[in-house]
Amino acid sequence: MKKMDLHHIRKDYTAGSLDEQSIPGSPFELFSQWINQAINHSEIIEPTAMILSTVAIDGSPSSRVVLLKEVSDNGFTFFTNYQSRKGKEISVHNKVSLLFFWPEMQRQIRIEGQAFKLEENFNHEYFNSRPVESQIAAIISKQSEKANSKIEIMESYNDFSEKDQTPVKPAHWGGFRVIPAYFEFWQGGSHRLHDRITYQQDSGIWTIGRLWP
């Protein structure tokens, strides 16, 4: 690849600010305000997309995008294949991080916590609500395993579709709920003096702090 000089790409942030006096005591409340603003923002096409990072047994980190499907004070839920790379990594080491980046609002949220498998009744409920094509894809996909070709994947999909059978949630597919212990809300500021507000949980109490930009 030819060397690219990207030094001139530089943006000043002026969209807003965060101060300790006007934020809620609960990070879930602030998250709810921010994600609602992202959902209602006309330029944000995937407001619920978040970057999930996991750690392998040898300490190697890996990241990928997943979609947030439910959020409450009980945690952040996404769905996946339990036998995928992320699924296997979480089963060994369940500390994960989630990251939301909404550049159009000059905002980032970092969340750290532990992931737990969702109860099977919730998995069935969500699986059954999905379009049939997504259900079939979830059944036939050996997510993260090596495939021989795109043809192999499409044949597997078509074989299932032609059988005309009702898709049933496979045991390897379901959700994880991430229960956070730490949040950082980042709002871009002018002159690179960004606001970074943290919420750290200790014995059920959330303590608010501020980090240098």
DSSP per-residue letters across 34-65: HHHHHHT-TT-S-TTEEEEEEE-TTS-EEEEE
> At closest approach, how far in Å is the CB of 42 from ligand FMN?
18
Rounded to whole angstroms, the Cα distance separating 143 from 115 reads 19
Cα–Cα nearest to 104, from 33, 209, 34 = 34
Residue 88 Cβ vs ligand FMN, minimum distance, rounded to whole Å: 8
Give ∠ CA 111-177-85 in degrees, rounded to 5: 85
User: If residue 28 lies in a helix (H) or strand (E), which one and from where to where?
Assistant: helix 27-39
Between 50 and 197, CB nearer to ligand FMN: 50
CB of 156 to ligand FMN, least distance (A): 17
Q: What does the binding site for ligand FMN look like in residue numbers (CB under 6 A)?
A: 46, 49, 62, 64-67, 78-80, 84-86, 143-144
C-beta closer to ligand FMN: residue 23 or 49:
49
| Minimum CB–partner distance for residue 203 and ligand FMN (Å) | 32
Tell me the catalytic residues: 192
Q: Which is nearer to ligand FMN, 172 or 196 (CB)?
A: 172
- Closest to 130 (Cα-Cα) out of 165, 91, 79: 79
Buried b (16+ CB within 10 A) or exposed e, 185-213: bbbbbeeeebbbbbbeeeeeebeeeeeee
